[in-house]
Structure formats: C-alpha cells, structure tokens
A and B are shown apart, each in its own frame.
Chain A
Amino acid sequence: MFSHDKLLFAGILTVGLLAAPASAFDFGRPATPAEIKLWDIDVGPDGKGLPDGSGTAVQGKQVFADNCAACHGDNGQGGIKDRLAGGQGTLASNAPVKTVGSFWPYATTLFDYIHRAMPYPTPGSLSTEETYAVTAYILSLNGIIPADGKVDKDSLPKIRMPNRDGFVPQPEFDPAKLFRRK
C-alpha cells in the first residue's frame, strides 16, 4: 500500500513538475511580510532575529524575582526547576551540574528560550526589554557579564560562553561537514 502511494505520489509530482511549477497547486495562501514578522521569533547564534532594545542585569534582578525565582530559586539555584547558575568545572565529574554558565554554548539561545517559553505559566509575556534584562541577570549570576552589565542585539552574540567549545557534533550530522560540496 505504501509503495503504491509512493508511486502515485511520485506520479503526481512528476506531472506537476512537467506541467507547471509545483506552486501552481492551489494549496494554502501567501504569507504576508507583516504576519511572518509576527511569528518569526527564532534567534540564531549569530544574533540574527534579535530585536532592537536592551536590558541590564540590575533591571533583570527585579524581573527575575517577579517572574522566575518561584521555580528557579533566588539567584537561579535551589528551585524546583532547572538550576541556572554555577556548576562550572563539574561536567567531567560523577555529578555534573548543567547550568547556563556551565553548559550552554550560546548566549543567544538564552534570549530565544526565555522569549519563547518563559515564564512557564505565561510564555511570551515579558517585554523585549525585560527579556534582555533577565538574560543579562542570568549571565551575571554566572559571572559571564558584570553585575552592572547590559546586553542588546549587538553584544549578546559576541559573548563567549564558558562551555562554547564543549560540544562535539555527532559525525553523521556535523553542521560543519554535512552539506559541504564533495
């Protein structure tokens, strides 16, 4: 049945390609630039996708107390959910502690994840400024930026996280080699 479907499907595709571009199929509707902008929230390690704005660790301390400490504990430790600070130097031990400071390779990921998924009960409820601020605060808790530090779309991708070189890609899907022309 599956192979039959595959044949049928291949046939449809072939006919489509011969007769007209595949886009000639009348499926869906064009996405407007405005609505793409509304949903296009992802942030890459190069900082692409980061919005304008900025936040300081000092501001972030209050945002964290109001929105994050209930689950992650004061200062990002001792809460019921993931520990966010400390743990550096433990990864090769029998009791590794994986935190933003000890494990995460990119600071951009922190902004992206807070923005899309946090706070857990009301994801997306923090403003851009608040998201930058709490990102800065968590980085400062880990000693990655100073306690009076500030982050924005230019500085965040330039931060070198302590465990940046701690990852070894599985050879089969190594991004550096996977699609290299032979």
Chain B
Amino acid sequence: MGVAASEVARAETLADVPDRAPGADLSAHSERSRFAKLDRIPEATPGKRNVDPGDAINSKTPHQKLVGNITPTDLHYERSHSGVPDIDPAQHRLLVHGMVQKPLVFSLDDLKRMPSVTRIVFIECTGNGWENWKKADPDLTVQNTHGLVSTNEWTGVPLKFLVDLVAKDKGSTWMLAEGGDGAGVDRSIPLTEEIVNEAFVAYGQNGEPLRPAHGFPMRLVMPGFEGNLNIKWLRRLKFGNAPWMTRWETARYTQLLANGKARQFQLRMETNSVITQPSGMMQIQPGYNRISGLAWSGHGKIAKVEISTDGAQTWKQAQLAQPVLSKAQVRFQMDWVWDGKPTRIVSRSTDEQGNAQPDRQTFIAAMGTNALFHYNAQQTWSIDDAGRVRNVLA
C-alpha cells in the first residue's frame, strides 16, 4: 500500500496471529478500530498546517487513506468562518421571506415532516487545490493538496417545495441564503432552473442528523456549486431580484486574473480528478501497483478518467467504481506495473458535458497565478528511482 511500516511486530507466520477470543462488549455506537488512524488536518492558511485548532479555518479529508466513493461523515472536510455553533434545534428557526406572498417560519420538525429527497453529492471548498497555485511543495500529501472536497449522502427538503409553500413572486430571480453562525455567512444564489430543481435544505447526512461542523440542524445543499454557497446552520432564505453583493461574493471567492480584474459569480465547481494512491509522501515498490483516485464535476457525471504513467505523454482509460452519480465523486482505478524507473503519474477527467480537466500550463495561462480559487488543473505526482512519491508541477 505504500504506507509507513507499523511499529507493532507483524505476523510473519500464521502461528504469530493472536488467538481468537471474546471481544469487547457491544456499545451504543461503534467506533473505528484503534488500528485505523484516520484524521483530518486542521489548517490556517495555505502552507500553515497542523496549527492550534483555535487558529484553523479549515480541516481536510485524508483522501490517501480512504476507499470507495463516499467520505466517512466525521472525515468530511470542514470550512467554517466563525467556528461551529452549538445549536439546539428547539431554538433554531428558518425564516423564508422577501419577494413572496406568504413569509413563513419553519422549525426542524416542520422540515422533517415535508416530502424529502436523498442524494449523494460532493461539496468542495473553492479553495481546494490552492496549495499548487504558484509552486509545488514536494512534501505535500493529497490530503494537503485536495482535502477540501468530500462526498456524502444528504437528505432534506427540495428548495422547490419551500418556494411553493411561501408562494414566491415570479419576478424573484435571486435568493439570499444566510447562516446562523457568528459570521452570518450569506450568499446570493441565482434561481436558475437547475438550481431551483436541485437545491435542497438538508437535515440528514449519511443517514443521521447533520453533524454540527456540517450545519446542524439544517444547511443548504447546492449540488455542483462552490462550497460557500452550501450555507450551514441555515436560518434565512430571502427572495429578491438582484444579488446582494455580500462580502463573500465580492471581497472573497472572486478570481483575481493576471490583468487585475476579478471574475465574479464563478459558482460552479469544475471538472476535476486526483490520484490518491499512490500519492504524495508515499513509497512504492517496483512491480504491480494499483493506481486509484477520485474524480468529480459540478457539471454532471464523470464520463471518463484517463491516467498517464509517463508524465502525460500517453494515456490509458481507468475503470470507474459504480454507481457514477451526477455531481458526486467517483473512484477510478487502473492496474500498473512499475519498472522502477523515475516517472510521473497524472490523471485527467472528462464529464458527460465534454468538459475536460485542463493541464497545468493551459490552466495557468487562462487564470494566472493570483486567482486563489477554483484550481482544477491536473495533479502530477513524481516517483523517483527509490519509489518515493512527491508533489510536483507538471
């Protein structure tokens, strides 16, 4: 697997394997094995990792240790702007008002009585990948470079249902969503047909109530759109006919281009992929290796993922783990026999709309190096003659 050797003595023969014995008592909820070390990494700003949690602004998913398509709930990445509020649902309310005929107030119980949808989608921070904008630190893992995207199953009430309940005015084309956190994070959301049909107010996450870090008791889920739009601890939806130009869509999450102008309302997350196995800081052996990773697109389903094991000279199509879902991460894999010579491995995805993940030169040529957000260039890992896997720019 290319992971560090355990400090515990290995079972060299079957005789070394410990005897079977009665195990621990059953419990109210099951914990992960003490031998499975899976942790997110709190981070302050790019390059400032393993900081005091009080200084952290995000916490990243350990993709290098995960399998399958779904991110475990407790390892779903987190980006919070004013900490995680401790909300008692009995005292939480959602106000829906503005250009509507019937402004209404809902409790969590109200939402749970309504018709629901359940859908597996990724949520991605727009800052995902920002580690490699200007340079590649060779010591980075895939958790460092791509740990700000995760995929969970979310359950909640379709936005369309709420829109009908309050009888939204036809002339209302934008919606302000506001959180109940200290920052009162708020975003203007265009009410396109796609968004009205797909957005929902979620109270369920992988079959259980939302975790506080992910918006308990309710959050907006916007399949395919930048993480900051998926407002957590949702407490207000206001309908209007123009964007509010909040701090988040003007001073933050706008893309500064090389000419000094900034791209605004770049709301959709792009076609992306990354190899997670083997990836940064791992070590591999010559011979058979299985390459595996994750691909996703805010435009819809991933159509194909290609992998190059010769530094982007030739490409081979990877297998996709079923089911391939729209706006959800999908695992890809490919057999590879490494001949022991230094090389570079890289993946590129294409979605059902034909959007292909760009190589780094093309991406930087279009965006410059000051944009900070929406980095979706192909990720290259170098492998030296000792099998050491390191982060590099293509």
Binding site for B on A (CB under 8 A): 1-2, 5-6, 8-9, 12-13, 16-17, 21-23, 25, 27-31, 35-36, 39-45, 91-92, 94, 96, 98, 100, 103-106, 108-109, 112-113, 116-117, 120, 123, 166-170, 172-175, 178-179
What are the residues of chain A within 8 A of B95 when measuring CB–CB?
A: 31, 35-36, 39
Say yes or no: A109-B246 contact (C-beta < 8 A), given A166-B260, A178-B190: yes
Contact B184 A123 (CB under 8 A): yes
> What are 9 A-B residue pairs whose CB atoms fall within 8 Å in the complex?
A28-B96, A28-B107, A35-B95, A45-B244, A98-B251, A109-B250, A170-B264, A173-B265, A174-B265
The answer to whether B256 touches A42 (Cβ under 8 A) is no
Minimum CB–CB distance from B296 to chain A (whole Å) comes to: 18
A31–B247 alpha-carbon span in the complex (Å)? 27
Give chain B interface residues in 281-305, CB to chain A under 8 Å. none
The yes or no answer to B161 lying at the interface (CB within 8 A) is yes
Task: Count contacts on B: residues with CB < 8 A to the other chain.
Answer: 64
B167 and A21 within 8 A (CB): yes
- B60 interface residue (CB < 8 Å to A): no
Q: A116-B183, A170-B263 are in contact. Are A40 and B238 (CB under 8 A)?
A: yes
A113 to B236, alpha carbons, bound, how many Å?
A: 16
B256 lies within 8 A of A167 (CB):
no
> Would you call B104 an interface residue if the criterion is a C-beta within 8 Å of the partner chain's C-beta atoms?
yes
Q: In the complex, which of the residues A96, A100, A173, A179 contacts B256, with contact meaning CB atoms closer than 8 Å?
A: A96
| Inter-chain contacts of B251 with A (CB < 8 A) | 98, 100, 103-104, 109, 113
Chain A residue nearest to B186 in the complex (CB): A42
Over the window 98-116 of chain B, the binary record of Cβ atoms lying under 8 Å from chain A Cβ atoms (1 yes, 0 no) is 0001111111001001111
Alpha-carbon distance between A40 and B244 when the two chains are bound, in angstroms: 13
Q: Within 8 Å CB of A172, what residues of B?
A: 267-268
Beta-carbon contact of B161 and A13 below 8 Å: yes
How many Å lie between the Cα of A110 and that of B287 in the bound state? 59
Q: CB distance A117 to B103 under 8 Å?
A: no
